Amino acid sequence: MSQIIDTNNLPKHIAITMDGNGRWAESKGKIRAFGHKNGVKAVRDTVEAAAEIGIKFLTLYAFSTENWSRPKSEINALMSLLVSAINKETKTLMNNNIKLSTIGATDSLPSKAKKELNEAIEETKGNTRMTLILALSYSGRWEILNATKNLIADGINHEKINEQIFQQYLTTKSVPDPELLIRTSGEYRISNFLLWQIAYSELYFTNRLWPDFRRQDLEKAILNYQNRERRFGKTKKQIQN
């Protein structure tokens, strides 16, 4: 990179929508599962790079609630890949002092996937360098509806509900909101990802298909973030003062 990342101005939390596995595979005359398999390499490279750069939280949109409507063969391939990837990559997480966590309706995952996931979460729970959050069977609308239902179930008086209280009912209650959201593959959509949390996130879109995403692409996104002015509704003059 021609520019150097300012380690004093890093986003504490980066979220990534990993898009383009299917198109990457189809462009090579392969089935979509081939793209998902190669996407694991991008995950490994990105996770290690984020930890080395100094990012504290990295959330990867791995499987949405809407993805359950895909062809059964693709879902089965994805779930099988999830199990093998978690099994293989737990050692990498331990070597890099990375904690694994998850958000989403994970009870809907196959039992074998849940088992591998829970074992990896337990094994890495003491790691402190970075937290890797996998969004699995997740959607922003699901999360907001789920939080609302739990608020009602707890009998919280509607007059007492504010942003701070509502946030405690989200699956990300112990995680800061992402300052930077990256989406690969050239699509310009949020796709139901962290709808509450990205209210003031910087959005970065790249044409790179996810299996080709590497450390230099992450660095480019961070540099782009560092060249932006974050005002949170204030004027430029207020920020300067």
Helix, strand, coil percentages in the chain from 3-state DSSP, rounded to 5:
50, 15, 35
Distance of alpha carbon 19 from alpha carbon 105, whole angstroms? 20
How far, in Å, CA of 148 to CA of 160, rounded?
Answer: 13
Grouping H, G, I as helix, E, B as strand and the rest as coil, residue 30 is coil
Supply the residues annotated as catalytic.
19, 67
Q: Can you name the residues that pair with 13 across neighbouring β-strands?
A: 57
Q: Which of 173, 54, 44, 201 is nearest to 103 (CA)?
A: 173
User: Are 137 and 108 within 8 A, CB to CB?
Assistant: yes
What is the DSSP annotation of 124-187?
Answer: HTT--SEEEEEEEEE-HHHHHHHHHHHHHHTT--GGG--HHHHHTTSTTTTSPPPSEEEE-TT-
Asked if 80 contacts 36 with a C-beta cutoff of 8 angstroms, the reply is no
